[in-house]
Structure 1
Amino acid sequence: MDYQIHQEGKFTYIEEGEGETLLLLHGLFGALSNWEGVIEGFRANYKVIIPNLPIYDLPIRKASLDTLLAFLEEFIAVKNLKDFTLLGNSLGGHIGLLYILKHPEMVKRLVLTGSSGLFENGMGGSFPKRGNRDYIAERVAYTFYDPKVATESLIDEVFEVTKSIPKCMSIVGIAKSAQRHNLAKDLHVIKAPTLLVWGLNDPITPPHVGEEFHRLIENSELKFIDKCAHAPMMEHPEAFNRILEEWLQKQAVLEKEQA
Structure 2
Amino acid sequence: MTSTVDVGDAELAYVESGTGSPVIWLHGSGPGATGMSNFGGNLPAFEDHRNIGVDLPGWGRSPRPATDEPLIFHAAERVCRAMTALGIERAHLVGNSYGGAVAMRIAMAHPDRVDRVVLMAPGGVLPTDAPPWPVGLEHLFAYMASEKPSRDEMAQFVRLMVYNEALATDALIDERYESSLRAHPELPIPPNFGDLTPDLGLISAPTLLVWGREDQTVPLTWATRILHGIPNAELRVLPHCRHWVQYERAPEFNAIVREFLLGGAAAAAREG
| Aligned residue type for 1:167 | H
1:29-64 residue CA offsets vs partner (Å, 9 max, x unmatched):
322222123311111x21111122232431565584
Given the alignment, which residue of 94, 104, 122 partners 1:115? 122
C-alpha RMSD over aligned residues = 2.6
- 3-state SS, counterpart of residue 208 of structure 2: strand
Q: Is the 8 A contact 1:188 1:217 kept in 2?
A: yes
- 3-state SS, counterpart of residue 262 of structure 2: helix
* Percent of residue pairs bearing the same amino acid type: 27
List gaps (5 residues or longer) in structure 2: 127-132
Partner of residue 239, structure 1? 252
Partners of 2:22 and 2:12 in 1: CA distance: 18
What is the aligned residue count? 250
Q: How does 1:204-219 map to 2 (within 5 A)?
A: 204-219=217-232
Partners of 2:266 and 2:70 in 1: CA distance: 38
- 3-state SS, counterpart of residue 167 of structure 1: coil
List gaps (5 residues or longer) in structure 1: none
Partner of residue 227, structure 1? 240
Partner of residue 176, structure 1? 191
| Aligned residue type for 2:197 | A
Q: Is the 8 A contact 1:129 1:136 kept in 2?
A: no
Q: Is the 8 A contact 1:25 1:50 kept in 2?
A: yes
Change over 3 Å in CA distance of 1:128–1:153 after alignment to 2: farther
Are 2:52 and 1:37 equivalent residues in the alignment? no
Q: How does 1:45-60 map to 2 (within 5 A)?
A: 45-56=48-59, 57-58=63-64
Change over 3 Å in CA distance of 1:252–1:100 after alignment to 2: closer
Normalised by the length of structure 2, the TM-score is 0.82
1:94-141 residue CA offsets vs partner (Å, 9 max, x unmatched):
111111111111101111002101137414544146242212210121
Partners of 1:256 and 1:99 in 2: CA distance: 19
Partners of 2:2 and 2:15 in 1: CA distance: 5
Partners of 1:106 and 1:15 in 2: CA distance: 19
Normalised by the length of structure 1, the TM-score is 0.85
Are 2:93 and 1:86 equivalent residues in the alignment? yes
Change over 3 Å in CA distance of 1:32–1:162 after alignment to 2: closer
